[in-house]
Every structure is written in structure tokens, then in C-alpha cells.
């Protein structure tokens, strides 16, 4: 390995070179023998499924965790980071997936937080403001230093995060799934910014599992599978499909419905549903829709536009201020969650650890959860342990839950297997309607295909499904009808057969409404 300084040489040393990185944890996929070479002044994408070990690798590069084996070289100089502070000093900056900004401070205050410019005893905000403007102009970030972060949109906040690491002198930027929170238009803007950063000679490490995006922005791509690098490719040489197959190591599922199974039977009818938050603001405003037997109604929307409240109101967890919910002709607006479940409402929650499973209970106890009033789990007031266990075995087999036994705690399973158990449980006992909130979030491709399959099969058996998802391909592919939710209102309906993700994205941000 070269230890020559890069200056003066005709070929630049790689900005980042990871060799033979190995990191072991008990029980989880770590990294083994990872080799990555990132050329200076390029956008380098790191792709892999959830849990493939991308985040661990980036934590190692950012000094948050030391590798068990292997070496890191920055600009050709071998380095060892004891902490993120070391990494920052070496010119590495990390933009986290979840923003770490204080809403009630201005951009300026957020950016300087932790590295405040001093002038004597006071703070030199004038110099900092000038420097932020300078960086913003140089890289086309279009950030006004004196605005309150609270007033900024998601895309702008992300640019503030990027500005923050640039302010600290980063020359190598790590972006951890930066597009996860953005709608398509914002993604395009971000990619424009990344190209400018690259043009100014910065190096970008871009972590993602959205392959179209990776192909459009990356100069080099490294694929990680089960903790190790399986391929390094150039975007010119691969297609999204090929890349995905490299990621999962096998052929890919696609979300699609074959023929329509929609019937005329109304199963779930919601009229005028309104929910007001504690401060009197409507979080759901006059929502009305009908789902028929055999129909999947997809709800698209940027997170936080009322989806969670809608789901909770439907499940009886949150009391609506107005409106009615009718299930198979019966008004259930005032019914308890238990009655709704007994009437045949299945529920796949958005956050499985909060609402879906008991982590410190066994799999068979988790099978009983939410179905504790119905056979095969109970006989009268008594638990039917044998019945529940036998049915758990059935779910484990039918839904391919990978576990050595149904007596282990749910916490021991991977997220995808926990999700398969939840789906299997909610599909048991003949539900008439399924409220599925992000049913495939955070699960691997194999489990995703299986979950789609089960939803398709249940739909053919006249199940009505409300599908909420942030994955627009999943929404378009799996829905019979598509509605867009924006600030608590259903603002548009689309035909999934003709709509494109871009059109949906416009509607989700409200851009589409002005046009129409």
C-alpha cells in the first residue's frame, strides 16, 4: 500500500481505502473482509439490503466503532480513528439519515453548534455567517443562515446537515440513506447538489438501497451482501435489476397485482373522519373513503401528514373528533380496539417494536397478542397454550419465519422475521380488512416478496386492504386505488395503472394541486 503523499503524483491516491475490514458482533451480521476503494472527487455508492452491514461499515469509517481487523487509509495515509472527532479532523463528515438539528435554533446557530467561532470571550457570528454564505454559494446549497430550522422543509434541512459537515472542513462526505425522507423532486435537487460538491473536488460516499437513484448519481458502486463486498461495478455496466440481484444474490420480486379482484361489497367505509391534536390543530381533516372486498387502497404521502393518526383512529387507538367508521355495514366508530379486532380487523403496525410485538415474550406468546380473545389461543378465560403453540408452528412454517424454535423471545429474531410473524398472525382468523402500515419496511427482499404474496392471496380471497407505504413502487404496484394524503386531507386520487412515481411525488408535496 502506498504511503506516499498524494501531492505531486500524477494519479491521486484514493480518498478512502478500506482493506480487509472485519467487525464481529454476537448474533448480528457484521463485516467480514470488506474492501472498498473510493476515488477522490467521485460519488461512490455503497448498496446493500437492510442489515447487510452498510451502517456498521460507515460507523467504522466515521470512528464510532473500531474494526476488529483491517486498515483504513485516507488519501493514501493509513489512519486509525478512536472517535468521530479523529475522523472529522481527517476531513470526514457524516450526514445521518435522521437529522440532528435543533428546530428552535437558526441555521447559523445549528451549524456552529459544537464548533463556535470565538472572538475574545464572545462568539463571532459575523464571521460564521459570512463563511456559511460562502459555502452555500460555492456548492449551490442555497441556504439562508438566519432562518429558523423549524421553518425549513425536509430537503432544506438536509442541505443544512451537509453544510454543517462542510463547515467543519469535511472533504469526504458520508451520506447515510439521504433520500429515504425525500420525495422524488427533492431527490433530484439533492443529486444536483452532490454533482456540484463533486465538481469542487469533494468525495462522496453515498449509502442507499434505492438502485435507480444510485445508478443516476454514482460514479462507482460497491455492493455489500451479508457483511462483505460482493462486487464493485460501474453504473454504465449494470442495470438496476442486475444490481438488485447482486444485492440479494438471487432473482428479484416485483410488486404487482395481476387481475382485479375488486367486488361491489363495501367492507370499510369512512366518512368525514376528523382528528384534532391536543393543540387544536386538525391532524385528520374530513377523510372519506370506501374499501371494497378484494380491493387494496393505497395511501401515498410524506410521513407525518396524518397517516399514523388515520391508522390509529381506524384501529380504535385514537378517538376521532368527528366522522364515522363502518365495517361491513356496522358502525364501529365507538367500538373498542378489541371489538374491532374481533370483528375482523387485522393490523400491521408501522413500528413493530412499539405496537406489533412483545420483544421479551416468546414467539407463541406474540402469536396470542392481539388475538387473545379468540381460538385457537384461548378457551373461555383460559389460555390455550397447546392451541396457540400449534398455530404458531403453522405460521412459522407457512410464512417462513426463520427461527430455531417458537420458544425463543421475539427479540432474538431479525426484523424481517418478526415482520413475517406479525403478517402471519394478522392474516390468521379470517380478517375482513387489513390495515397495513409500511408492511415491508426494513425487511429483506425475500421477506418482502413473501409478504406481497400473502397480501395478494388474501386479496383474491376478498380481503379489503388499506396499504400505507413510503415505498412508491410498492404503493403503485400493490394498490387497486391510490389516494394521496397531505396535511391530514385526502387531496388526490390516482389510477395505479397509469400514475408515475414523479406524479405521485408532486401530489404528495402539494405541487400537483396548483396545476390542477
Q: What angle do CA 398, 460, 245 make, to 5 degrees?
A: 60
Q: 397: which strand partners?
A: none
CB of 407 to another protein, least distance (A): 6
Continuous segment of H or E residues that includes residue 148: none
Asked if 30 touches another protein (CB under 8 A), the answer is yes
Q: What angle do CA 421, 370, 400 make, to 5 degrees?
A: 10
Q: How far apart are CA 170 and CA 88, in angstroms?
A: 7
Q: Can you give the length of the chain in residues?
A: 516
Answer whether 485's CB lies under 8 Å from 306's CB. Answer: yes
Asked if 437 touches another protein (CB under 8 A), the answer is no
Residues that contact another protein, how many (by CB under 8 A): 52
Neighbours of 60 (CB within 10 A): 25
Sheet containing 489-494: give its strands across.
345-348, 433-437, 464-468, 296-300, 481-486, 489-494
* Residue among 162, 302, 413, 450 that touches another protein (CB under 8 A): 413
Q: How far apart are CA 202 and CA 138, in angstroms?
A: 12
Residue 91 vs 316, nearer CB to another protein = 316
- 61 phi and psi, to 5 degrees? -65, -30
* Residue among 13, 16, 31, 32 that touches another protein (CB under 8 A): 32
CB of 471 to another protein, least distance (A): 22
CB of 336 to another protein, least distance (A): 7
* Residue among 98, 119, 386, 402 that touches another protein (CB under 8 A): 402
* Residue among 319, 373, 430, 497 that touches another protein (CB under 8 A): 373
* Residue among 80, 85, 254, 411 that touches another protein (CB under 8 A): 411
Interface map 324-363 toward another protein (x if CB under 8 A): ------------xxxxxxx----x-x----xxxxxxxxx-
Q: How far apart are CA 110 and CA 385, in angstroms?
A: 55
* Residue among 330, 404, 514, 516 that touches another protein (CB under 8 A): 404
Residue 24 vs 513, nearer CB to another protein = 24
CB of 404 to another protein, least distance (A): 3
Residue 306 vs 356, nearer CB to another protein = 356
Give the binding range for another protein (CB under 8 A) out of 36-44, 56-64, 312-320, 460-468. 312-320
CB of 205 to another protein, least distance (A): 25
Q: How far apart are CA 61 and CA 52, in angstroms?
A: 16
* Residue among 74, 107, 270, 315 that touches another protein (CB under 8 A): 315
Answer whether 440's CB lies under 8 Å from 448's CB. Answer: yes
Residue 244 vs 401, nearer CB to another protein = 401
Residue 75 vs 365, nearer CB to another protein = 365
Give the binding range for another protein (CB under 8 A) out of 206-214, 412-420, 466-474, 506-514. 412-420
Residue 381 vs 516, nearer CB to another protein = 381
Q: How far apart are CA 260 and CA 460, in angstroms?
A: 9
Considering only residues 82 through 121, tell me which ones interact with another protein, judged by CB under 8 A.
Answer: none
Q: How far apart are CA 204 and CA 208, in angstroms?
A: 12
Q: How far apart are CA 385 and CA 406, in angstroms?
A: 12
CB of 422 to another protein, least distance (A): 11
CB of 395 to another protein, least distance (A): 16
Q: How far apart are CA 273 and CA 311, in angstroms?
A: 11
Give the binding range for another protein (CB under 8 A) out of 20-28, 200-208, 231-239, 478-486. 20-28
450 closest CA partner among 246, 248, 180: 248
Q: How far apart are CA 288 and CA 316, in angstroms?
A: 17
* Residue among 2, 22, 271, 321 that touches another protein (CB under 8 A): 22
CB of 254 to another protein, least distance (A): 25
Residue 240 vs 369, nearer CB to another protein = 369
Q: 289: which strand partners?
A: 270
Residue 262 vs 358, nearer CB to another protein = 358
Q: How far apart are CA 322 and CA 187, in angstroms?
A: 37
Answer whether 185's CB lies under 8 Å from 153's CB. Answer: no
Answer whether 355's CB lies under 8 Å from 419's CB. Answer: no
Residues near another protein (CB under 8 A) are 22, 24, 26-30, 32, 226, 315-317, 336-342, 347, 349, 354-362, 365, 368-373, 378, 381-383, 385, 402-404, 407-409, 411-414
Amino acid at each position: 500500500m502506498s504511503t506516499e503523499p498524494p501531492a505531486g503524483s500524477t494519479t491521486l491516491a484514493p480518498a478512502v481505502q478500506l482493506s480487509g475490514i472485519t467487525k464481529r458482533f454476537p448474533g448480528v451480521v457484521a463485516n467480514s473482509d470488506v474492501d472498498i476503494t473510493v476515488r477522490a472527487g467521485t460519488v461512490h455508492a455503497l448498496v446493500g439490503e437492510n442489515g447487510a452491514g452498510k451502517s456498521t461499515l460507515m460507523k467504522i469509517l466515521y470512528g464510532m466503532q473500531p474494526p476488529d481487523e483491517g486498515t483504513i487509509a485516507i488519501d493514501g495515509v493509513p489512519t486509525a480513528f478512536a472517535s468521530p472527532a479523529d475522523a472529522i479532523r481527517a476531513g470526514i463528515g457524516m450526514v445521518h439519515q435522521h437529522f440532528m438539528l435543533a428546530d428552535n435554533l437558526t441555521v447559523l446557530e445549528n451549524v456552529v453548534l459544537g464548533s463556535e467561532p470565538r472572538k475574545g470571550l464572545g462568539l463571532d457570528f459575523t464571521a460564521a455567517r459570512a463563511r456559511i454564505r460562502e459555502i452555500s454559494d460555492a456548492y449551490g446549497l442555497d441556504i439562508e443562515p438566519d432562518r429558523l430550522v423549524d421553518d425549513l422543509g425536509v430537503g432544506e434541512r438536509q442541505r443544512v446537515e451537509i453544510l454543517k459537515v462542510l463547515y467543519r472542513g469535511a472533504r469526504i462526505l458520508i451520506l447515510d440513506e439521504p433520500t429515504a425522507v425525500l420525495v422524488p423532486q427533492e431527490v433530484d435537487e439533492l443529486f444536483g447538489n452532490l454533482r456540484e460538491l463533486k465538481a469542487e473536488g469533494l468525495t462522496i460516499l453515498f449509502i442507499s438501497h434505492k438502485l435507480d437513484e444510485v445508478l443516476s448519481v454514482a460514479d462507482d458502486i460497491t455492493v455489500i451482501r451479508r457483511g462483505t463486498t460482493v462486487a464493485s461495478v460501474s453504473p454504465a455496466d449494470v442495470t438496476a435489476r442486475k444490481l438488485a440481484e447482486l444485492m440479494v444474490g438471487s432473482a428479484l420480486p416485483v410488486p404487482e397485482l395481476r387481475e382485479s379482484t375488486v367486488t361491489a361489497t363495501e367492507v370499510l367505509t369512512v366518512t368525514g373522519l376528523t382528528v384534532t391534536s391536543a393543540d387544536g390543530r386538525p391532524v385528520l381533516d374530513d377523510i372519506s373513503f370506501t374499501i371494497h372486498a378484494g380491493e387494496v387502497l393505497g395511501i401515498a404521502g410524506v410521513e407525518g401528514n396524518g397517516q399514523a393518526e388515520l391508522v390509529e383512529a381506524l384501529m380504535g387507538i385514537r378517538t376521532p373528533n368527528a366522522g364515522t367508521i363502518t365495517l361491513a355495514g356496522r358502525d364501529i366508530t365507538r367500538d373498542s380496539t378489541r371489538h374491532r379486532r374481533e370483528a375482523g380487523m387485522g393490523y400491521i403496525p408501522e413500528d413493530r417494536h412499539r405496537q406489533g410485538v412483545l420483544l421479551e415474550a416468546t414467539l407463541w406468546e406474540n402469536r396470542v397478542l392481539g388475538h387473545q380473545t379468540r381460538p385457537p389461543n384461548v378457551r373461555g378465560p383460559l389460555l390455550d397454550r397447546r392451541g396457540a403453540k400449534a398455530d404458531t408452528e403453522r405460521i412459522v412454517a407457512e410464512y417462513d419465519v426463520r427461527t430455531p424454535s417458537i420458544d425463543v423471545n421475539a427479540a432474538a429474531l431479525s426484523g424481517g422475521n418478526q415482520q413475517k410473524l406479525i403478517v402471519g398472525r394478522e392474516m390468521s382468523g379470517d380478517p375482513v380488512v387489513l390495515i397495513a402500515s409500511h408492511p415491508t419496511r426494513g425487511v429483506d427482499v425475500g421477506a418482502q416478496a413473501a409478504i406481497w404474496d400473502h397480501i395478494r392471496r388474501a386479496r383474491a380471497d376478498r380481503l379489503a386492504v388499506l396499504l400505507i407505504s413510503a415505498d412508491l413502487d410498492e404503493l403503485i404496484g400493490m394498490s387497486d386505488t391510490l389516494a394521496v394524503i397531505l396535511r391530514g386531507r385526502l387531496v388526490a386520487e390516482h389510477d395505479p395503472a397509469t400514475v408515475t412515481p414523479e406524479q405521485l411525488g408532486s401530489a404528495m408535496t402539494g405541487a400537483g394541486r396548483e396545476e390542477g
